[in-house]
Amino acid sequence: MHDLVIIGSGPAGMTAAIYGVRSNLSVLLLDRLAPGGQIVNTSEIQNYPGMGTINGAELAIKMYQHTQELGVEFDYLTVTGVTPGEKGFSLTCAERPDDPVEARAVIVATGTTPRTLEVEGEDRLRGNGLSWCAVCDGAACRDQDVVVVGGGNSAVEEALFLSELASSVTVLVRRTMRADPASCDRLRSRDNVTVMEGWNAVAFEGAACLESVRVRCAATGEERQIACQHAFEYVGLEPVTSFVADLGILDDAGYVVVNSGMGTTVPGVFACGDCIEKDLRQVVTACSDGAVAARAAARWLKNA
Ligand code: NAP
């Protein structure tokens, strides 16, 4: 039985772990994948104070090392359910379904996963030119033609990264760009970047590998074919929270509803980071949420 089990080891979960051990709690940090969450797939982070410009994976490693220096226990486990009991919570895990993890308090910090467009050719060409991770697959784009779909911060930042390698980058934005104006300006100023606002990707085409993206103008219905060898989807995120749906703590979109102390309606269950209902999803706000959640959990445990 751990005092506190944190599910998800992105910036929110790792910060909660740091604050948890510093409150003298026994803390177990769980993740189905390597620590870091979404930032592992982020080429450049420019708005985490004190770090200047830093590669996302590098920042993830620094945060993880910090947790290890303070004695946080980490394990690779995929939590599939959280069941409240008399003394705390039983966390069922896919890797060992008959041996649940026991916790007095739980913090859900499972973040989000990239949304898919659900258009023709997407499943077939996934991994054959179509990707959701420029950091992972960008190297193959050197001197090639690339399409990026989306107009949020992820699309714009990864399009900037890809524009340093590719011969051309076409950014498809279904309405207008919603990323930070400074990043949008940087993108538009690149000679090899074309931003097409008001255009949707309607099909990914190619026999064995991606050869083109069929696009449609939202206003006129006009269709065009953009030849490319690589395409990246950055069309938003979905919360990774289905494993706590039974607790009744999610909103209609699947985000965890929390109070100002990151507490949910289930005593002893807290949540933080991108998986909660909130306005600003940034590394710095995830870390802030994590600190608040861990302190609230420590206080709750003291009075439990
Ligand atoms: P996002 O901000 O939700 O943007 C999603 C983009 O995809 C929007 O342009 C949206 O268009 C478009 N889109 C959604 N569904 C679509 C569809 N079916 N077809 C075509 N386009 C579609 O997602 P994100 O860029 O992944 O960012 C997620 C969160 O992380 C945001 O809060 C963001 O600010 C944050 N983030 C921050 C940083 C940073 O500050 N350095 C970096 C990355 C991400 P509409 O606008 O028309 O809906």
Q: Domain tally for the chain? A: 2
Q: Which domain holds residue 179?
A: 122-233
Spatial contact of 74 and 65, defined as CB atoms under 8 Å apart: no
Which of the residues in the chain have pLDDT under 50?
none
Answer yes or no: do 265 and 165 share one domain: no
Asked which of 212, 233, 254 is the last residue of a domain, the reply is 233
Give first-to-last CA distance, the chain, whole Å: 15
Q: Find, among 200, 32, 165, 224, the residue nearest to 109 by Cα.
A: 32
Pair 244, 269 in one domain: yes
* Whether 244 and 210 share a structural domain: no
Q: Which atom of ligand 1 is nearest to the CA of 153?
A: 25
Supply the DSSP symbol for 91: E
Which CATH number covers residue 221?
Answer: 3.50.50.60
For ligand 1, atom 46, which residue shows the shortest CA distance? Answer: 178
Same domain, yes or no: 185 and 82 = no
88 and 143, same domain (yes or no):
no
102 and 160, same domain (yes or no) = no
pLDDT at 106: 98
* Boundary-marking domain end, from 196, 218, 233: 233
In this structure, are 22 and 106 located in the same domain? yes
Tell which one of 148, 199, 281, 287 to mutate to probe ligand 1, the residue whose CB is within 8 A of the most ligand atoms: 281
Amino acid at 127: G
Predicted local distance difference test score (pLDDT) of residue 135: 83
What was the pLDDT predicted at 44? 81
Do residues 43 and 134 lie in contact, with contact meaning Cβ atoms separated by under 8 Å?
A: yes
Q: Which amino acid is it at 282?
A: Q
Q: For position 165, what pLDDT does the model report?
A: 95
Residue 281: CB within 6 Å of ligand 1?
yes
Domain check: are 32 and 72 in the same one? yes
How remote is the CA of residue 192 from the centroid of ligand 1, in Å? 22
For residue 60, count other CB atoms closer than 10 A to its CB: 26
Q: Nearest 5°: CA angle at 176, between 175 and 177?
A: 130
Q: Which amino acid is at 13?
A: G
Neighbour-count burial for 178-188, b at 16+ CB within 10 Å, e otherwise? ebeeebbebbe
Residue-wise pLDDT for 202-252, tens only, equals 999 999 999 999 999 999 999 999 999 999 999 999 999 999 999 999 999
Same domain membership, residue 242 and residue 228: no
Task: Give CA–CA dist 195/288, Å, rounded.
Answer: 34
Spatial CA neighbour of 108 closest among 265, 283, 302: 265
**Boundary (domain end) residue, out of 172, 203, 233:** 233
Find out whether the beta carbon of 259 lies less than 6 Å from any atom of ligand 1: no
